[in-house]
Structure 1
Amino acid sequence: MEISIINKIRKRTDRFVESQLLKIGRVLDVRVWETGNIIEVDLHLPMANIKRWTRVPFIKFRVSELCFQDYTPFGWDDETGTCSILIDTSDSGAGSRWANSLRTGDQVYYLKIEHQAQPPHLTDMVVGLADASSLGYLLALQYLTLPGSRFDGAVLLDSPGAGQLFKDYFDSPVTILANYNEMADWLMMEGFCTTHTSFYLSGTHSLVKPLHKALKILGHTKIHIYESDLSL
């Protein structure tokens, strides 16, 4: 009985703290891709200082009670306070359930906006490597890399249809690959310069860890990592 009461008090306290800290946004549009378990969401975030997004941002959204998930916005506009996110719904987690529940006009809540420690390198070739959970990360990285000719990348998408939709929807040089072995082969064939190439890895731990190891074997040392399967 005492434990039950303590848990109730704790939940009420957490909800109160959460309500004081959360910022509010609004869903402008929701597009469910025909294939690939991807949901694209356009957002209005009037409380966000988008002018300061000079490094890849990560928005910590509340996806369920006392559960938060990071998503990377892309295509942002500081004048209108708008951006978009891409959500991989291939699993049955809280983030997927949240994404599937979103409708135009809904309010969304986020705790904070953080940024990758370093901006894209100013002179190196910038190469982004990711999986379906980090499509937005690649688009944000591309957006921040100027000139755009310095950007290249690859993404793992096990659905050919999703890969084609990505190419149809976005003007991006990112290569679509089906599995890790294809990505490893692609890296070897591209032969990126070890001195003047900076790599930015984002995705699940099962992709990021072996990729990091493979790049080190190839002699690369400029490797920046963000794992997408982290939640609070």
Structure 2
Amino acid sequence: MSKTLGVPTPDQATYMLRAASEDAGRTYKRQLLDLLDLRPGHTVLDVGCGPGTDLPALAERVGASGRVIGVDQDPAMLATARERTAAVDTVEIREADAHVLPVAPGTVDRAKIDRVLMHVRSPAEVLAQLHTATRTGALVGLVEPDWDTLAVDSEDLETSRAFTRYTTEKVVRHATVGRGLARLAVQAGFRIETTITNAPLFTDFEHGDHTLGLGRNMQQAIAEGHIDRTRGEAWFAGLARGPFYASFTLVTVVCSRP
């Protein structure tokens, strides 16, 4: 990994699959699937399924009598998802916007949306769609970061804070949606069952740079005039020298459909 700011934007499918395979990704995803209490015969909806990261695990838990529906609006992501699940007869891949879910009302037993609401036009509208799609008694799992809690250690604390502000104000559409998940779910008509947090920890610079976009987002912040170039480049170089520490809060809410 380059230690300059000229780090290219990673391929999104590769990025998502790598993040899911790392310790922090495996931990919260396994926790989410356990909380969803998936059972044989369930119909499960994965909104924003991306490259199909979680579809095989969902299919395994619902068995041959169940059905897993993966929805995404990105054709490239869906192509990868289809390749990854080609041998799994119980998985269906559908191209659609999360604001207009391609499922019949009241037909879904379990649903999940993982790190997607922070990017959509209207999280409230997506949750309203999930409420319509699910049966009475269904469980829905929501996972989102709170990027206001991004903490990157540096001797230049002010630049670390400026980087977090830039991330929340310019990079991520709904950067604090994680803390609002329970409120948004209740407003959509769900009942909260569980709220938990995880704090993914990064102590390897290259890992942190890849996952958190430190170099590429700092480069963008400098180009847009939000952070001074000399200061931003010195900050990034200091992170590369280590020791490295960064973390943020990941919020998981599991709710039910009354």
Greater percentage in helix = 2
The normalised TM-score by structure 2 is 0.38
Greater percentage in strand = 1
The normalised TM-score by structure 1 is 0.42
Structure of greater relative contact order (alpha carbons < 8 Å, 6+ residues apart): 2
